[in-house]
Chain A
């Protein structure tokens, strides 16, 4: 017994010695990203969280159109160009030639990317009788969320390098939808081969794409490995290997970044930001996120159906105090429902001033005295609201000053949204992070009359809705910009929301990293990065 114990002790001692001499850090041209969690899988149409998209859509796959890095402008991807018909109903895509597919132990491609792949990728999600529709659980959440099934009338192959998509009604944001991760293009040839081998699921677990990195291996909760794809159509990436080191805790991610165990980390702890900005080894990149946090008034309930009450309650809230206390400087005041980085943002709109006296006067003008109400606060931290509970407390205190007595209400996150959808709230905190950079994706989705299911304010204004519908029908960007600008004026006057803030997203990056940009939609893109 004693001898055994001694042996074990010696082993531990040896480990301690090795601890001092063991190698750490990554080899040259191996780029390590300390990602925040394990992906659900490697098919971005089935797995729809940001973590899933980083691990699949942004590394392995491409789409017909791509978002230009650092912006939400849609630029050609697997489609070299596209044209819309005059009535806005038909889009014709000219596909890129000579795009190569990855290969793996199951599959070696015999042909380049072509129209069959586009049809396979969309029909799988769209048609319930498609042989691949039910494979791997068959839950195509984003395809449904973006109402693609309703928008699409047909997808046709004109020839090997031309695809025609017809819509049921004009929908200008449609092209932006096609640049989204869920619309990634997968190999039809691979799918056919796996179908005949009787292993359809392999298409989703051992991904084959046209993207900058080939999938190598994945160990759940540990790492994902990729290697640069030599024949990538935009040119081979400058790094040779890409590793996602899955690190759930934000503080630990920061320690790994400091120790040089990874090069970039997402979602830092707000408490660590100051230390990061002073760290000589780290560049703290920041950019305003494509998001908005707001307090929605339930316009179906009295007295919130009276615009004067909504305006008065908006004037009673000290927005600057919220920015200082809740966002601690990592947010900018919001006055419109869309963030300032988005095209068509109307900077001429004037926000309601913080004026408790005027608020009180307006409230009595509306005949509202001794109002008792509630403020719903989300139970979770979200990109647009780091602490909803604290925010609700500040609003509660501000409203108390004008004689409004508000209770703070909270539920579990899923139940919270369900009850809001059912309209149980008086006022509720919520927010939104954009999907595709189109103003329609904020205003129509969150405030349109048809979108009542997602409309926290349960507010339907025919003038506002008419402007949004007109903007859907034309693909002329200048015309759309003008319509959205007018819509923002109507929105501010009607005050269905108290717009709180647009939060800033931070990405600490080690000094030796070049070519990494924060993406407004939150994706992490490594095809252009390099190490000094």
Chain B
């Protein structure tokens, strides 16, 4: 187990440096720079421009900037945002809980609907239900998130008035942030009704963000179930007269879950990518919206620091998935 962990970490180290190089290079390849992005219609003399760039340390040669950046990261300093002049790590930590909360709810939504839908489709293979569920999941998978979000807002918020349009909490409440996770903070606060408001604000964005993972989970569950259902032990279980619920639930689903869990783990990246659009539509104060805004304003330090932090999160989750996978299926620990 320990050697397996070391092995995985050794693989991750070059990945991490690759990410730092990409995030550093990517934002600098884009035309423009933070000073130009700030200046609007105004023209600056080359001297003014150069002196402002120098204030940001962007006058140094690229290799020196990169070495400084790596050196700072290794000391836990992810840079200072050009726009807000705050440490990038502080901004990230302030916004990250909102993204995690949204992604978790979206994942719960996707699993709760997607898993049963996939099982049902597999059990009712080649019937109207199966085709219906697979058809809907294909639509869900191809749904443009931005359009889908606006459509739900117009229907549920504007026409039916059932859900709030955007934001995380009604402005009637002023909840002191403790953990950053509003569902927890509202429970801790003594503002009555604030928890309901927080939950209420999560409904639409969770549905929008959860749609694509839901479709993927439903399709993967179906195909994994179909594979397992054709196995000999399932036939044996049927032959010995077990109730269908036991055949599907105990024998088939358990074995199908190995594939499904892996797929669910892989959705972390999908969720973070989807969060960029979902957070923009729903004015959700998370890291997706922050990164996009930082790219547009050429806030080099926020982009490079933010991307590395996100990559670190994804890498940690993948490592965790690998480890749990190894625990579920011990053969993997030995074959690598």
Could you tell me the distance in whole angstroms from the C-beta of A435 to the nearest C-beta in chain B? 10
Instruction: Enumerate A19-76 residues with CB–CB distance to B below 8 Å.
Output: 19-27, 30, 32, 37-38, 40-41, 46-49
Binds A, one of B6-14, B30-38, B120-128, B129-137: B30-38
How far, in Å, is B199 (CB) from chain A's closest CB? 5
- The answer to whether A16 has its CB under 8 Å from any CB of chain B is yes
CB within 8 Å of B: which residues of A? 2, 5, 8-9, 12, 14-16, 18-27, 30, 32, 37-38, 40-41, 46-49, 136-139, 141, 144-145, 201, 204-205, 217, 219-223, 225, 243, 245-249, 251-252, 255-256, 258-259, 261, 382, 411-415, 417-418, 420-421, 430-433, 453-454
Q: Quote the shortest CB–CB distance from A388 to chain B (angstroms).
A: 13
Kindly provide the distance from the CB of A136 to the nearest chain B CB, expressed in whole angstroms. 5
Is the Cβ of B165 less than 8 Å from the Cβ of A453? no
B55 at the interface (CB under 8 A from A): yes
- Neighbour of B31 across the interface among A205, A245, A415, CB < 8 A: A415
- Give bound CA distance, A58 to B199, whole Å: 34
Name the distance in Å between A31's Cβ and chain B's nearest Cβ: 10
Contact A258 B43 (CB under 8 A): no
Contact B84 A41 (CB under 8 A): yes
**B12-41: contact bitstring with A at CB < 8 Å (1 yes, 0 no)?**
000000000000000000111100111101
- Least Cβ–Cβ distance between B310 and chain A, in angstroms: 16
Chain A interface, >50% SS class: mixed
Which residues of the other chain, A, contact B202 by a CB distance below 8 angstroms?
A: 15
* Alpha-carbon distance A490/B289, docked complex (angstroms): 48
Closest chain B residue to A456 by CB distance? B43
Could you tell me if A245 and B283 are in contact, using CB atoms closer than 8 angstroms?
Answer: yes
Question: Does B249 contact A2, Cβ atoms closer than 8 Å?
Answer: yes
Which residue from B84, B154, B165, B171 sits with its C-beta under 8 Å from A26? B171
- Complex A-B, nearest 8 residue pairs according to Cβ-Cβ distance, in ascending order: A414-B32, A414-B36, A221-B285, A412-B31, A222-B285, A22-B200, A454-B43, A137-B85
Q: Which residues of the partner chain B approach A204 to less than 8 Å between Cβ atoms?
A: 85
Q: A148: shortest Cβ distance to chain B, in Å?
A: 14
> How many contacting A-B pairs (Cβ < 8 A)?
174
Instruction: For A145, give its contact among B30, B42, B83, B249 (CB under 8 Å).
Output: B42
The distance from the CB of B210 to the nearest CB of chain A, in whole angstroms, is 11
Give the size range of B's interface with the partner.
35 or more
- B167–A431 contact, CB under 8 A? no
Q: A12-B108, A18-B199, A412-B30 are in contact. Are A261 and B290 (CB under 8 A)?
A: no
Given A222-B285, A246-B285, A417-B39, output 7 extra A-B contacts at Cβ < 8 Å: A18-B196, A40-B84, A220-B84, A245-B167, A252-B282, A255-B166, A432-B41
Smallest distance from the beta carbon of A211 to chain B beta carbons, Å? 21
5 pairs across A/B with beta carbons < 8 Å?
A: A22-B193, A41-B84, A245-B283, A259-B164, A415-B36
Of A141, A261, A414, A432, which contacts B33 at CB under 8 A? A414
CB of B171 within 8 A of CB of A32, answer yes
Using Cβ atoms and an 8 Å threshold, which residues of chain B touch A16? Answer: 203
Which residues of A lie under 8 Å from residue B111 when comparing CB positions?
A: 5, 8
Binds A, one of B44-52, B223-231, B311-319: B44-52
CB distance from A26 to the nearest CB of B (A): 5
Residues A24 and B164 in contact, CB atoms below 8 Å apart: yes
Digitize B71-94: 1 where CB-to-A-CB distance is under 8 Å, 0 elsewhere. Answer: 000000000001111100001001
9-residue interface stretch from B155-163, B213-221, B233-241, B328-336: B155-163
Residue of A nearest to B37 (CB): A414
Known contacts A220-B285, A223-B171, A248-B289; A255/B153 CB under 8 A? yes
A37 pairs with B177, CB closer than 8 A: no
Q: Which residue in chain B gives the minimum CB-CB distance to A41?
A: B84
